[in-house]
Amino acid sequence: MKVIIIGAGIAGLSTAWYLQKEYANALDITILEASGSVGGKIQTKNIDGFFYECGPRSIRGDFDLINELQLQDEVLVASKYAKRRFLASHGRLKAFTWIKCLPAILTYPLRWSRTPGDVSIATYFGERFGASFVDTFIDPFCAGIYAGLPDALSYQACFPKKRHAAQIFTFKQGMQTLTSVLAVKIKGKILLNTKVLRIDDHPQNVTVLTDSGLYTADRVISTVNPTAMLPPEDPLRLVVPQVPKASLVTVSLGYYEDLLPERGFGFLASSKEERRLLGVIFDSCVFPQQNGAYKTRLSVMLGGAKAPHMLELSDDALYSEAVDACKKYLGVGQPAHVWAVTRHPHAISQYPVGHLQRMQVLEEALTGRRIQLAGADLYDVSIAGLIKRAEAGVFMNHLGLAHK
């Protein structure tokens, strides 16, 4: 059976890996990737010894995948400081502890209003713990995970019930190790610089038109929203959720000196505190083994749903914005010895209220179809979540293949 996977990000690569693992040589897998490299948002850079991640910098989870890829010796677990988190508050940093939530939790029994069904994260926590709890604790959480705003995100879709504490880790050579090794160990073909333009689901097969040729398969799994690629008459077009995306910018800063006043994972800023800054990650504290000559490495996250226009600023303006934020909250105002800007247009899915109900409709529409979907627009934006979903083998059933 021929299977085409669209997109060589972590969703596409891990899907290919688990299909290969389950069916060995029974499947002929081809991954079509629009860009010139694998990994999607996962891109590690090392410029003259300055090591930084353009996109995700760590994974929270534990997987058999690491052992299966024989990457155990490459894993780098976050330092003890990763447990210390800070919030930006009135121009200063405050260590986050659960005790700070106590007043809101103690008044919890006094609040009885509950809107039934799915509601926004702001409504859910606002009804239970009050508006200032949302502004102080929930808004920064939304900035940190979704680069989003609590009144635009669905509580049900963004707060999955089962969350287990797991370690935070990366790899000695950075996050890209995972996707590069997957790409090498996947036996199928990976065609780079191959952008999918159209997908036609016929009774006998699926044809996939790309900018470099036409491909035929028995099944297609798209990790990108397929709406624009489907013909107008395909009913899937009407039910694929159009999930809004937040755009953000990462400014990576490196300094030879040890400048941080506090050790920790970093800090987050609520939208009331800062209109353009999402937060700053203290990379040099979390993974000091990657520091090289740079004793302080910071990632300043700007923009997100609260300031989408930030992507339009020049590199110099973004750098200044980042240095200003570091000066204000960390007292680090001197020019960085090295810096780099990465823009992430339409990068993080913002599941709106009612998203899971729309997903149910989509799942029904996908039953029996040759086209299946994966990727961060569906249920989880985290790398751990995307890998777990691929591992759970949802595609096996949809592909009409039973688990072995």
Ligand X SMILES: Cc1cc2nc3c(=O)[nH]c(=O)nc-3n(C[C@H](O)[C@H](O)[C@H](O)COP(=O)(O)OP(=O)(O)OC[C@H]3O[C@@H](n4cnc5c(N)ncnc54)[C@H](O)[C@@H]3O)c2cc1C
Rule CB under 6 A: which of 11-30 touch ligand X? 11-12
Count H helices, E strands: the chain? Answer: 14, 20
**Tokens matching residue 162:** 């089962």
Q: Are 285 and 81 in contact (CB under 8 A)?
A: yes
Residue 31 binds to ligand X (criterion: CB under 6 A): no
Q: What dihedral angle (degrees, nearest 10) is formed by the CA atoms of 8, 11, 12, 18?
A: 140
Residue 376 binds to ligand X (criterion: CB under 6 A): yes
Q: Nearest CA to 210 among 28, 32, 371?
A: 32
Q: Which positions ≥6 away from 364 have C-beta within 8 Å? A: none
Residue 375 binds to ligand X (criterion: CB under 6 A): yes
**Angle at alpha carbon of residue 249, lines to 245 and 253, rounded to 5°:** 155
CA distance 304 to 302: 7
CA distance 95 to 201: 54
The interface mask with ligand X, positions 326-365, x = CB under 6 A, is ------------------x--xx-----------------
**Count of residues that bind ligand X according to CB under 6 A:** 35
Tell which one of 3, 4, 5, 6 touches ligand X (CB under 6 A).
Answer: 6
Which range in 81-89, 180-188, 286-294, 373-381 contacts ligand X by CB under 6 A? 373-381
Rule CB under 6 A: which of 71-130 touch ligand X? none
The DSSP output letter for 55 is S
Residue 10 binds to ligand X (criterion: CB under 6 A): yes
Which range in 32-40, 305-313, 356-364, 387-395 contacts ligand X by CB under 6 A? 32-40
Rule CB under 6 A: which of 51-70 touch ligand X? 55-59
Nearest CB to ligand X, comparing residues 119 and 153: 153
Residue 42 binds to ligand X (criterion: CB under 6 A): yes
CA distance 147 to 144: 6
CA distance 145 to 183: 27
Reduced DSSP (H G I as helix, E B as strand, rest coil) percent helix, strand, coil of the chain, to 5: 35, 25, 40
For residue 26, give the amino acid letter. A
Nearest CB to ligand X, comparing residues 9 and 126: 9
Which range in 9-17, 69-77, 157-165, 315-323 contacts ligand X by CB under 6 A? 9-17
Nearest CB to ligand X, comparing residues 8 and 104: 8
Which range in 34-42, 78-86, 89-97, 272-280 contacts ligand X by CB under 6 A? 34-42
DSSP string, 171-213: ETT-THHHHHHHHHH--SEEESS--EEEEEE-SS-EEEEETTE
Residue 277 binds to ligand X (criterion: CB under 6 A): no
Q: How far is the CB of 223 from ligand X (least distance, A)?
A: 5
- How many CB atoms within 10 Å of residue 94? 13
Tell which one of 5, 41, 144, 387 touches ligand X (CB under 6 A).
Answer: 41
Nearest CB to ligand X, comparing residues 225 and 291: 225
Task: Give contact residues for ligand X (rule: CB under 6 A).
Answer: 6-12, 32-35, 40-42, 55-59, 195-196, 223-224, 248, 250, 344, 347-348, 375-376, 381-384, 386
